[in-house]
Structure 1
């Protein structure tokens, strides 16, 4: 039997300059991501859509969710195989497209983790990346391909 559970968060718009959304350019695209017992993250819209470039936007957060889910499953599966990971850093990139109508979507994502291993088989470490899509909640939920370009080095 499948286990079902809920995830909750609060999204609170903070961009009302006093007139609400009376004029399209009269409000800010800023909002807070809030969760009980968690720090507030101040966010905004994509700068291409009038947002603040100094804040995380929904696209940044989705990319971070894909990359961090992949990382956490990699660490888990590596540990199960006796592969000792000493460091993991990823600088992922996602490609988005915008239609003339304003409709946008992600069309691809490339994860580029640089990983250092002190113990274990490097070939097995590379092979883990191919299995993660079977487990990662986020990767199993998105509608775009995720490519992995891992660089795994021995310490």
Structure 2
């Protein structure tokens, strides 16, 4: 039987300029995410949709969560396999599409980690771990779009 995990957060809209949503341009697309005991994350909509480009948007956070989950599982599996990772940096790419109606979605994501190994001879074994991660990563198992990995090793 699967073990249940509950995750909580509070999302609070902070964009009321005083007139609420009385008009499409009368309010800001900003909010904050609070999770007990953790720093507040200030967010906004995508800049293309009137958001603040200096704040995280939902698409940023989904792509970051996907990349971070993959990284954490990679580190775990590498440790189990006796592969010593000394550095990991990802610059993932999320590919989205928007319909004329404004409806949008991710159609794919590409994780592009650069991974530093203590022993460069472990690169082939390390590369094989990526295929196992999508079987266990909480986020990757939850999204419906394809996720590919283009890892490089240093």
TM bracket (short chain) = over 0.9
Partner of residue 44, structure 2? 44
Deviations 1:112-155 (A, max 9, x none): 000000046221100001110000000000010001000012xx
1:5 paired residue number: 5
Deviation string, structure 1 residues 29-58 (Cα, Å, up to 9, x no partner): 000011111000110001111111110000
| Gapped regions of structure 2 (runs ≥ 5) | none
SS in 2 for 1:69: helix
Question: Could you say what secondary structure the match of 1:88 adopts?
Answer: strand
| 1:2 CA displacement | 1.0
C-alpha deviation, 1:5, in angstroms = 1.8
Equivalent residues in 2 for 1:52-131 (5 A)? Answer: 52-119=52-119, 121-131=122-132
Structure 2 CA distance for aligned equivalents of residues 47 and 33 of structure 1: 18
- 1:146 counterpart residue number: 147
Residue 106 of structure 1: CA displacement? 0.2
Structure 1, unpaired ranges of 5+: none
Paired with 1:123 and 1:144, the residues of 2 have a C-alpha distance of 26
Give the alignment's Cα RMSD to 1 decimal. 0.8
Distance in structure 2 (CA, Å) of the matches to 1:45 and 1:101: 17
Once residues 74 and 117 of structure 2 are traced to their aligned partners in structure 1, the CA distance between those partners, rounded to angstroms, is: 12
How many residues in Structure 1 have an aligned counterpart in Structure 2?
Answer: 153
TM superposition outliers: structure 1 runs of 4+ over 4 Å:
none
